[in-house]
């Protein structure tokens, strides 16, 4: 396929679409390399709208890592909105990259990063617009290798038919290894065609090629086994883990868009992985072990990144940022350094802990103290033991008391509904907690105008977690439980008006559940939804529960299963799970024990400060946790003005 720019054709369509700026590229720090002087070419896709996809750290990191290499180029592509999609179909404009507006079909690889399963229909739209056959089996040597990564790739089975391969774990080194394999194969004049290339990738042991595995089923619909069908293909595919984040200080030159996007800040990942052990949390389980970036490495990235972007805010990202061993020094150091520069600092994902209020105070020295967010996740003490979120009501009250006492006006609390073993009573206790928070807040602040917002999401059991065997709560039961809680909060004459209540209905969670724990048979549902017009399923205004259920009713009965079979059904120890052949490093028996501990309401400590509890990751991957403190100071300092 010609790699010529399609911009002239696209340009004529842009006056007719919403926010055309999102399609033109030209972002600060973006890169356009010469096509002919590169021999391995990647298009990287985030399968959502530009405003969500552009700030995605994963894509940004890989884009920079690849473009830094000689002879390799990477360009970005995002999902186009339905208004442009219709015009592109009408005028035969293919899916394009925003960097040089080249057709996606002309690249060697289309790498797609899935943070969520709700991007699956957008993958199909992009493939179709790109002129790439939707099913991998119909592709020829002229088509790109379609590769998935990101957290959702830890169970790529529902999209197995549409993928050539998937990579689990960290992408930085993986993309370079894959690049070298493709380069060698191309230099040898593509021996054995597409199959040979995929086989070479599969033989590394860390690239999953679905077509080299056969899935066999039992009469009752469960999987009997997943078997490699080629010699040299491993039984299990292992995940990639990057050690020493200081060697990977990306993004160095973060992209600065012209269009408005969801996160406009200089983000620095201060550590990767988490061993808090929250049993619902897939991210915490699949990114182990904990690997910290050093305080000096963080200081340098922030300094360079701000100079390269002009952003006004720094986000210190991780799964639980306050857990960095030197977070106090980092926060104070950055607050000191940027005190005069009107740079905001934010620390998302913090736990319920008075120490975090001190940190938040430090980060908002000059600014307004508007809202603080905590995530107790479970409404009752019992529930929090089940999910291993070790926060007592006392801790929470002490924390919010400190917050309101320090001038914070609003506290946001995140919870989940539909957790394993949960009853109405567990959820109703969320209301009691909110009331206690307001009562304490009024007492310590001496004011009545403080607020507490309760935000509730539906729990979806995820692969590679102790809850991978758990039954999901049905949409109807979720809705009924949340309505009871809503009535309880609204009915409280004294405190009800100070409590905000935000929740989503249970329906989208069921679709997410189907896709999260689905197997290859779910692919037919995804395809039917796409063909029925499904796009942008992560967007409330585009998501249609009915479309998903209709597609499921049309396709799943042929396999003797249904949506409930995938979602609300509890699995047994013996069951072969669709993702068992993808190795996250976690020992399946440990996950099962942890599931049993959950049912017994037994908590597990964090292995950073207690002995190893044998989750399996470190010995399996021959690694260890990598944490400070280093005892160093935040350097380099900016020049004194």
Partner 1 sequence: MQRIRLRYTKRGRLRFTSHRDFQRAFERALRRAEVPMAYSAGFTPHPKVSYANAAPTGTGSEAEYLEIQLAERRDPDTLRELLDTSLPDGLDVIDAVEAHTSGLADRLEASVWEIRLDGVAAEEAGRAVEAFLAAEEVQVERRTKNGMRTFDARAAVTRLEAAGSVDDRPDGKACAILRLVVRHLTPAVRPDDVLSGLRATADLAPPVPAAVTRLAQGLLDEETGAVTDPLAPDRDAATAAPSTAAGLSAAKATSGVSPAAGEGTA
11 binds partner 1 (CB under 8 A): yes
Q: Is residue 514 within 8 Å of residue 563, measured between CB atoms?
A: yes
**3-state class (DSSP) for residue 502:** strand
Interface with partner 1, residue 635, by CB under 8 A: no
Q: Determine how many CB atoms are found less than 10 A away from the CB of residue 404.
A: 27
In Å, how far from its chain's centre is CA 261? 17
Stretch in the footprint of partner 1 (CB under 8 A) among 10-18, 287-295, 408-416, 604-612: 10-18
For residue 258, the SS3 value is coil
Number of residues this chain uses to bind partner 1 (CB under 8 A): 30
Beta bridge partners of 75: 43
- 32 lies in the binding site for partner 1 (CB under 8 A): no
Question: Do the Cβ atoms of 386 and 420 come closer than 8 Å?
Answer: yes
* Binding residue for partner 1, selected from 137, 231, 247, 368, defined by CB under 8 A: 368
DSSP-derived letter for residue 96 is: B
If one asks whether residue 14 binds partner 1 (CB under 8 A), the answer comes out as yes
- From the list 22-30, 111-119, 521-529, 531-539, the region that binds partner 1 by CB under 8 A is 22-30
CA distance 36 to 273: 39
State the binding string over 223-262 for partner 1 (x if CB under 8 A, else -): ---------------------------------x-xxx--
Nearest to 56 by CA among 232, 251, 228, 241: 251
Q: Is 264 in the site for partner 1 (CB under 8 A)?
A: yes
Q: Which is nearer to partner 1, 119 or 254 (CB)?
A: 254
21 binds partner 1 (CB under 8 A): yes
Q: Which residues contact 364 (CB under 8 A, 6 or more apart)?
A: none
Interaction with partner 1 in 124-153: which residues (CB under 8 A)? none
**Taking CB under 8 A as the rule, which mask of x and - marks residues 340-359 in contact with partner 1?**
--x-----------------
- Show the 3-state SS of 43-69: EEEEEEEHHHHCCCHHHHHHHHHHHCC
91 binds partner 1 (CB under 8 A): no
Q: Which is nearer to partner 1, 24 or 428 (CB)?
A: 24
Q: How far is the CB of 291 from partner 1 (least distance, A)?
A: 31
Stretch that binds partner 1, among 13-21, 208-216, 373-381, 475-483 (CB under 8 A): 13-21
Residue number with CB closer to partner 1 (14 or 199): 14
Nearer to partner 1 (CB atom), residue 263 or residue 581: 263
Output the smallest distance, CB 339 to partner 1, in A.
13
Residue 69 binds partner 1 (CB under 8 A) = no
Establish if 378 lies at the interface with partner 1 (CB under 8 A).
no
Binding string to partner 1 for residues 298 to 337, with x set by CB under 8 A, is what? Answer: --------xxxxxxx-------------------------
Assign residue 92 a region (left: φ > 0; alpha: ψ between -120 and 50; beta: otherwise). Answer: left
Rule CB under 8 A: say whether 367 interacts with partner 1: yes
Assigned token pair, 276: 């808090």
Beta bridge partners of 112: 45, 148
Q: Which CB sits closer to partner 1, 610 or 638?
A: 638
Structure token digits, residue 70: 């000689």
Contact code string over 613-632 relative to partner 1, x by CB under 8 A? --------------------
Q: Smaller CB distance to partner 1: residue 26 or 193? A: 26
CB 404, min distance to partner 1, A: 19
Q: How far is the CB of 542 from partner 1 (least distance, A)?
A: 23
* CA angle 504–420–418, rounded 5-degree value: 15
8 A C-beta contact, residue 66 and residue 111: no
The C-alpha atoms of residue 228 and residue 288 are separated, in whole angstroms, by: 27
Site for partner 1 contains 24 (CB under 8 A)? yes
Q: Quick check: 486 and 500 in contact, CB under 8 A?
A: no
Pair 122, 47: CB distance under 8 Å: yes
Closest CA to 512 of 183, 158, 164: 158
Q: Sign of dihedral through CA atoms 528, 533, 537, 542?
A: negative
Q: Which residues bind partner 1 (CB under 8 A)?
A: 7, 11-12, 14-16, 19-21, 23-28, 256, 258-260, 264, 306-312, 342, 367-368
């Amino acid at each position: 396929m010609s790699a010529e720019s399609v911009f002239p054709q696209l340009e004529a369509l842009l006056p007719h679409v919403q926010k055309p700026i999102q399609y033109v590229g030209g972002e600060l720090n973006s890169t356009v390399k010469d096509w002919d002087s590169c021999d391995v070419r990647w298009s990287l896709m985030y399968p959502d709208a530009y405003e969500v996809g552009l700030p995605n750290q994963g894509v940004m990191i890989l884009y920079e890592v690849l473009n830094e290499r000689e002879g390799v180029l990477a360009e970005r592509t995002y999902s186009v909105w339905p208004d442009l999609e219709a015009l592109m179909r009408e005028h035969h404009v293919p899916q394009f990259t925003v960097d040089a507006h080249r057709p996606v079909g002309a690249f060697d690889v289309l790498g797609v990063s899935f943070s969520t399963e709700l991007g699956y229909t957008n993958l199909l739209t992009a493939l179709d617009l790109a002129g790439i056959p939707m099913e991998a089996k119909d592709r020829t040597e002229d088509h790109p290798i379609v590769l998935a990564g990101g957290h959702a790739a830890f169970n790529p089975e529902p999209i197995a038919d549409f993928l050539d391969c998937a990579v689990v774990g960290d992408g930085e080194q993986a993309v370079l290894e894959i690049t070298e394999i493709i380069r060698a194969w191309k230099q040898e004049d593509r021996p054995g065609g597409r199959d040979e290339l995929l086989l070479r990738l599969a033989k590394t042991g860390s690239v999953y090629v679905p077509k080299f595995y056969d899935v066999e089923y039992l009469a009752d619909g469960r999987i009997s086994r997943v078997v490699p069908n080629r010699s040299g293909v491993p039984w299990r595919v292992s995940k990639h883990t990057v050690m020493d984040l200081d060697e990977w200080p990306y993004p160095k030159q973060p992209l600065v868009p012209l269009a408005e996007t969801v996160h406009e800040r200089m983000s620095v990942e201060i550590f990767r992985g988490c061993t808090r052990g929250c049993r619902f949390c897939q991210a915490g389980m699949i990114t182990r072990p904990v690997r910290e970036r050093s305080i000096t490495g963080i200081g340098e990235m922030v300094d360079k990144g701000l100079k390269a972007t002009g952003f006004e805010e720094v986000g210190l990202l991780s799964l639980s940022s306050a857990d960095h061993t030197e977070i106090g020094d980092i926060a104070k150091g950055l607050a000191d350094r940027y005190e005069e520069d009107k740079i905001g600092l934010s620390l998302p994902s913090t736990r319920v802990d008075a120490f975090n209020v001190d940190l938040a105070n430090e980060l908002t020295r000059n600014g307004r103290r508007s809202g603080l967010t905590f995530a107790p996740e479970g409404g009752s003490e019992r529930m929090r033991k089940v999910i291993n979120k070790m926060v007592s009501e006392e801790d929470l009250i002490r924390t919010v008391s400190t917050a309101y006492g320090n001038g914070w006006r609003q506290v946001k609390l995140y919870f989940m509904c539909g957790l394993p073993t949960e009853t109405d009573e567990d959820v109703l206790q969320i209301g009691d907690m909110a009331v206690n928070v307001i009562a304490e807040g009024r007492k310590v602040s001496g004011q009545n105008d403080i607020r507490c917002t309760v935000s509730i999401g539906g729990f979806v059991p995820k692969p590679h977690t102790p809850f991978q065997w758990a039954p999901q709560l049905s949409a109807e039961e979720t809705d009924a439980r949340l309505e009871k809680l809503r009535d309880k909060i609204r009915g409280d004459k004294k405190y009800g008006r100070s409590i905000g209540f935000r929740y989503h209905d249970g329906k989208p969670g069921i679709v997410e559940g189907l896709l999260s724990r689905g197997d290859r048979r779910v692919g037919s549902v995804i395809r039917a939804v796409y063909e029925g017009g499904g796009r942008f399923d992560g967007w409330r205004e585009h998501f249609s529960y009915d479309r998903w259920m209709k597609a499921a009713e049309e396709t799943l009965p042929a396999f003797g299963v249904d949506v409930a079979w995938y979602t609300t059904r509890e699995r047994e120890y013996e069951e072969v799970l669709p993702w068992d052949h993808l190795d996250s490093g976690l020992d399946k028996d440990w996950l099962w024990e942890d599931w049993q501990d959950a049912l017994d309401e037994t908590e597990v400590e964090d292995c950073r400060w207690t002995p190893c509890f044998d989750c399996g990751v470190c010995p399996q991957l021959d690694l260890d946790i990598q944490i400070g403190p280093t005892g160093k100071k935040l350097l380099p300092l900016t020049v004194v003005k």
